């Protein structure tokens, strides 16, 4: 069934939506994006995603083409027009179309695209079984805190995982885990919940921030620091967080079972707490 998508101020059937071949998003990956999940027809952590979007745009010297309230209206309009109950809204803003030149154009009108994608988020088999990951070197650029659309290396990592019969890849830099191809990486060791500290080496996950806050509210012990691949393999539990997977257990790393090879109790509890909060606070 054809969706209604948003392109530069218009709501159009997906077949009619067009972007210029000169768009810098297409030519240079000169653009940023956000993925906001939708549960029960409502947006999860919209403000967190909007704030990160504004930051990403600022880091690339772009001004936000739409105010936060306008963006919220567009998100809601797309949910309504596509009758979306559960899934995601993808938003992309590029610097716009201009003659091909490495230097930013003096003036270009940003391209704004949003579309919906239906997906089961709460009832996912992976939440019950857990996922298996492989490790790969982190060969991405150095500003992973900016959510740009240059996702080829994560895509290659995902393919390497598939070819190895696994589900995803964790990326390693200087012996430490940075993050998953499209999620933040966590372990539970000695009863403490550990996830990498924020910096330019990882994306500042909106789900990561929410899970951290909820774990602290539940009096769980959180440590923000880099952990090694060896630590992860020896951990009691491991999991990933992202807007589309919430909290998903990791049960195997490079063929080594994590804990007893089944989703652990802390991971399960965090998923439950996160989903309860998500449903209660979605707008």
Of 205, 259, 263, 264, the residue at the interface with ligand PMP (CB under 6 A) is: 205
Contact between 110 and 96 under an 8 Å Cβ cutoff? The reply is yes
- Candidates 6-14, 115-123, 182-190, 229-237 — which segment interacts with ligand PMP by CB under 6 A? 182-190
* Nearest distance, CB of residue 68 and ligand PMP, angstroms: 17
Which position among 147, 162, 212, 233 bears the catalytic label? 147
Q: Which of 84, 97, 53, 45 is nearest to 210 (CA)?
A: 45
Residue 148 touches ligand PMP, criterion: CB under 6 A: no
Q: Is-catalytic flag, 42?
A: no
Shortest distance in whole angstroms from residue 48 CB to ligand PMP: 7
Stretch binding ligand PMP (CB under 6 A), from 65-73, 175-183, 188-196, 270-278: 175-183
Site string for ligand PMP, 2-41 (x = CB under 6 A): ---------------------------------x------
Find, among 244, 242, 193, the residue nearest to 215 by Cα: 193
Helix (H) or strand (E) holding 229: helix 229-233
Residues with Cβ < 8 Å from 152, sequence gap 6 or more?
A: none
**203 is an interface residue for ligand PMP by CB under 6 A:** yes
Q: Does 215 bind ligand PMP (CB under 6 A)?
A: no
Residues 6+ positions from 67 with CB-CB distance below 8 Å:
none
The H or E element containing residue 78 is helix 68-81
Query: Which CB, 98 or 274, lies closer to ligand PMP?
Result: 274
Q: Characterize the bridge pairing of strands 256-257 and 237-242.
A: unpaired
Site for ligand PMP in 105-134 (CB under 6 A): none
Considering only 56, 182, 248, 278, the residue that binds ligand PMP (CB under 6 A) is: 182
Contact 195, 177 (CB under 8 A): no
Eight-class DSSP state of 121: S
Q: Which segments within 1-86 are labelled E, that is strand?
A: 4-7, 10-13, 31-39, 42-43
When asked if residue 135 is in the footprint of ligand PMP (CB under 6 A), the reply is no
Distance CA 171, CA 244 (A): 19
Q: Which residues bind ligand PMP (CB under 6 A)?
A: 35, 179, 182-184, 203, 205-208, 241-243
- Indicate which residues carry an active-site annotation: 147
């Amino acid at each position: 069934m054809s969706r209604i998508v948003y392109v530069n101020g218009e709501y159009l059937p997906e077949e009619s939506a067009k972007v210029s071949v000169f768009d810098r998003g297409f030519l240079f990956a000169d653009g940023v994006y956000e993925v906001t999940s939708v549960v029960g027809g409502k947006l999860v952590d919209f403000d967190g995603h909007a704030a990160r979007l504004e930051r990403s745009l600022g880091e690339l010297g772009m001004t936000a083409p739409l105010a936060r309230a306008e963006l919220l209206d567009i998100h809601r309009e797309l949910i309504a027009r596509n009758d979306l109950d559960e899934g995601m809204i993808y938003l992309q803003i590029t610097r716009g179309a201009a003659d091909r030149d490495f230097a930013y154009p003096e003036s270009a009108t940003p391209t704004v695209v949003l579309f919906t994608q239906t997906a089961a988020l709460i009832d996912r088999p992976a939440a019950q079984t857990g996922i298996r990951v492989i490790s790969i070197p982190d060969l991405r650029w150095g500003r992973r805190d900016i959510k740009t659309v240059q996702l080829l290396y994560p895509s290659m990592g995902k393919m390497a995982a598939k070819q190895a019969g696994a589900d995803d890849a964790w990326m390693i830099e200087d012996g430490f885990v940075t993050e998953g191809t499209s999620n933040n990486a966590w372990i539970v060791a000695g009863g403490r919940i550990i996830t990498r500290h924020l910096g330019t080496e990882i994306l500042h996950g909106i789900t990561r921030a929410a899970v951290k806050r909820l774990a602290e509210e539940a009096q769980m012990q959180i440590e923000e620091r880099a952990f090694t691949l060896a630590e992860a393999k020896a951990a009691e539990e491991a999991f990933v967080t992202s807007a589309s997977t919430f909290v998903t257990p990791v049960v195997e790393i490079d063929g080594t079972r994590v804990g007893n090879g089944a989703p652990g109790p802390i991971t399960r509890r965090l998923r439950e707490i996160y989903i309860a909060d998500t449903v209660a606070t979605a707008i």
